[in-house]
Structure 1
Amino acid sequence: MEKKVSKIGVLTSGGDAPGMNAAIRAVVRTGLYYGLDVFGIMRGYAGMIENDIFKMETRSVANIIQRGGTILKTARCKEFFEPAGRKKAYENLKKLGINGLVIIGGDGSFRGAQIFSNEYDIPCIGLPGTIDKDIAGTDFTIGFDTAVNTAVEAIDKIRDTADAHDRLFIIEVMGRDSGYIALHSGIATGAENILIPERITDINEVIDSLQEKEKRKKLVNLLVVAEGSELGGANEIAKVLKEKMPNADIKVCILGHIQRGGSPSCLDRLIASRMGYAAVECLMTGKDVNTMIGIVNNQLHYTPLDQAVKAEQTIDYEWLKIVKILAS
Structure 2
Amino acid sequence: MYHLPQLKKTTQINAIAVMTSGGDSPGMNPAIRSVTRAALNQGVRVFGINRGYSGLIIGDIFELKSRNVTNIVQRGGTILKSDRCEAFKDPVVRHQAAEILKEHGIGGLIVIGGDGSLTGAHLLFHETGIPVIGLPGTIDNDIYGTDDTIGFDTALNTALEAIDKIRDTAISHERIFLVEVMGRNSGHIASQVGVACGAEMIIVPEIDFTLETLSFTLANQRAEGRGSSGIIVVAEGPRPGLTYRLARQLEIDGQTAGVCILGHIQRGGQPTGHDRVLASCLGAAAVTYLLAGETDIMVGIKNSKITAIPLLDIMEQKKPLNPELVQLAQLLHK
Which residue does 2:320 correspond to in 1?
314
Deviates more, 1:91-100 or 1:24-33: 91-100
For the pair 1:303 / 2:303, whether they are aligned, the reply is: no
Counterpart residue type for residue 240 of structure 1: Q
Shift of residue 186 of structure 1?
0.7
Take 2:229 and 2:188, find their aligned partners in 1: how far apart are those partners? 24
Is 1:145 aligned to 2:145, yes or no?
Answer: no
Which residues of 2 match residues 262-277 of structure 1 at below 5 A? 262-277=269-284
Residue 334 of structure 2 corresponds to residue 325 of structure 1? no
* Percent identity (aligned): 49
In structure 2, the residue matched to 1:279 is: 286
CA displacement at 1:16 relative to structure 2? 0.2
Which blocks of at least 5 consecutive residues in structure 1 are unaligned? Answer: none
Structure 2 residue identity aligned to 1:2: T
Aligned length: 325
CA contact 2:51–2:81 (8 Å) conserved in 1: yes
1:252 aligned onto 2:253: no
Give the corresponding residue for 2:5: none
| Residues 231 and 84 of structure 1: CA distance in aligned 2, closer, same or farther (over 3 Å) | closer
1:199 to 203, 207, 216: 207
SS, match of residue 71 in structure 1: coil
Give the Cα–Cα distance (whole angstroms) in 2 for the partners of residues 69 and 201 of structure 1: 35
Distance 1:249 1:94 in 2: 60
Q: State the TM-score, normalized to the length of structure 2.
A: 0.94
Alpha-carbon distance in structure 2 between the residues aligned to 1:101 and 1:33: 17
The 1-side partners of 2:206 and 2:218 are apart by 22
Amino acid at match of 1:158: I
- Note the 1:168-247 alignment, pairs <5 A: 168-216=176-224, 220-228=229-237, 233-244=242-253, 246=254
> Cα distance, 1:309 vs. partner?
1.5
Q: Deviations over 1:270-290 (max 9, x none)?
A: 111111001101111113x21
Equivalent-residue separation in structure 2 for 1:131 and 1:43 (angstroms) = 18
The change in CA–CA distance for 1:136 and 1:243 in structure 2 (over 3 A counts) is same
Q: Are the counterparts in 2 of residues 9 and 102 from structure 1 also a CA contact under 8 Å?
A: yes
Q: Separation in 2 of the partners of 1:91 and 1:280?
A: 22
Question: Which string of whole-angstrom CA distances, capped at 9 and with x for unpartnered residues, describes residues 31-57 of structure 1?
Answer: 000000100000001111111000000
Q: Residue 119 and residue 229 in structure 1: after superposition, are their counterparts in 2 closer, same or farther (change >3 A)?
A: closer
The CA distance in 1 between the partners of 2:37 and 2:258, in whole Å, is 48
Q: SS of the residue aligned with 1:236?
A: helix
Q: Which residue is 1:2 aligned to?
A: 10
Distance 1:88 1:231, change over 3 A: closer
Q: CA RMSD in A?
A: 1.5
Distance in 2 (CA, whole Å) between partners of 1:197 and 1:78 is 26
- Residues 167 and 220, structure 1, Cα contact 8 Å, conserved in 2: no
The correspondence of residues 63-78 of structure 1 with structure 2, limited to 5 A, is: 63-78=71-86
Structure 1 residue 230: Cα displacement: 6.8
* CA deviation map 1:66-99 (0-9, x unaligned): 1000000000111111123112212211111101
Distance 1:118 1:86 in 2: 10
Q: TM-score, normalised by structure 1?
A: 0.96
Counterpart in the other structure of 2:69: 61
2:12 and 2:279 mapped to 1: Cα distance? 23
SS at structure 2 position matched to 1:194: strand
Rounded to whole Å, the distance in 1 between the matches of 2:303 and 2:78 is 27
Distance 1:156 1:210 in 2: 20
